[in-house]
Amino acid sequence: MSTPDVDVNHNKNIKTEDILCPLAEYEECDFSKLLEKPRLLNIDRQRSLDERSLSELSIGMSTRGIDLNSSRFFEQLDSICSPVGRRSGFSTPRSQSGFDPHPMVAEAWDALRRSLVYFRGQPVGTIAALDNTEENLNYDQVFVRDFVPSALAFLMNGEPEIVKNFILKTLRLQSWEKKIDRFQLGEGVMPASFKVLHDPIRNSETLIADFGESAIGRVAPIDSGFWWIILL
C-alpha cells in the first residue's frame, strides 16, 4: 500500500524539478537585450510613380521651407493628388510640380484626343475605335457605353465641357422615333450610338442616332440608359 505513495512523491519531485529548471534558466537570461530596438530590414523594392512624386514633393518642401499657410503649398499638393492634374484644355496633362507624366499616360491621352468627335465645332464624344485598316460597321460612331470611361478621364482632368455636350446631345436624340426592324422601342430607350453626318454641299452637320439597327448583333440598347444615368 506504500508503493503508490512513493510513486506519487517521486512524480511530484520530478514535476517540481521540471518547473524549477526553466525558472533557473530564465534568471540567468539578460533581459536588457529585450529593450534594444529591433534592427530594420533593408528591403529593396520598386516604388510607384505616386510614391516617388510624394517623396520628392516632401523633400522639396522641406528644403525650401514653404509656408503651410501659403496658397502655393496647396496648389502643389492638389497637383500631386490629382491623377492627371487639374489643367483644362485639350493637351496632355502635366503636373504643376514640374515632372512629366508616365509615357504610357501621355500616349493614352494622345490616342484619346485623336478619337474626339466634333459637332459644329464642339466636342461631343469619342469614336469607338481608331482603326483605319478596313471599313468597319459602326466604329466611327460615338457609343454611349464606351464613352463613359473616357468621360470620367475628362472630368478628372478638369474638362467637363465634352461630357456636358455628350449628355445634352444624347438626351435630345432620345426623343427620336426608335425602331429596329420595324419594331418600335419604348420611350425611355437611349440610343446605342450616334455619328456626325457631314454634308459638304449644304455645308452642314447632322447627328444621326442608332438604336441598334447598325449594331453587330442588332440588339436593343437596354444598357445605354443605365450608363447615361451613371454618367449624369
Q: Which run of H or of E encompasses 208?
A: strand 204-210
- 131 and 86 housed in the same domain: no
Residues 38-53, mean pLDDT to the nearest whole number: 53
Least confident among 46-60, 90-104, 139-153, 181-195: 46-60
The contacts of residue 75 (CB under 8 Å, 6+ apart) are 96
Beta bridge partners of 180: 183
What angle separates helix 71-81 from helix 49-64, to the nearest 10 degrees? Answer: 170
State yes or no: pLDDT of 124 exceeds 50. Answer: yes
> What is the pLDDT at residue 71?
52
- 119 and 223 housed in the same domain: yes
- 121 and 174 housed in the same domain: yes
CB contact at 8 A, 148 and 163: no
45 found inside a domain: no
pTM: 0.54
Q: What is the CA radius of gyration of the chain?
A: 34
79 found inside a domain: yes
- Among 86, 191, 205, smallest CA distance to 144 is for 191
State yes or no: pLDDT of 121 exceeds 50. Answer: yes
Q: Which run of H or of E encompasses 168?
A: helix 161-173
219 found inside a domain: yes
Beta-carbon-side half-sphere exposure of residue 104 (alpha carbons within 13 Å): 1
- 92 and 123 housed in the same domain: no
Strands of 63-133, DSSP E? 116-119, 122-126
**pLDDT band at residue 21, thresholds of 50, 70 and 90?**
very low
- 147 and 217 housed in the same domain: yes
Question: What is the domain extent for residue 135?
Answer: 115-231
33 found inside a domain: no
- 213 and 151 housed in the same domain: yes
> What is the pLDDT at residue 190?
84
Number of structural domains in the chain: 2
- Among 176, 150, 146, smallest CA distance to 162 is for 150
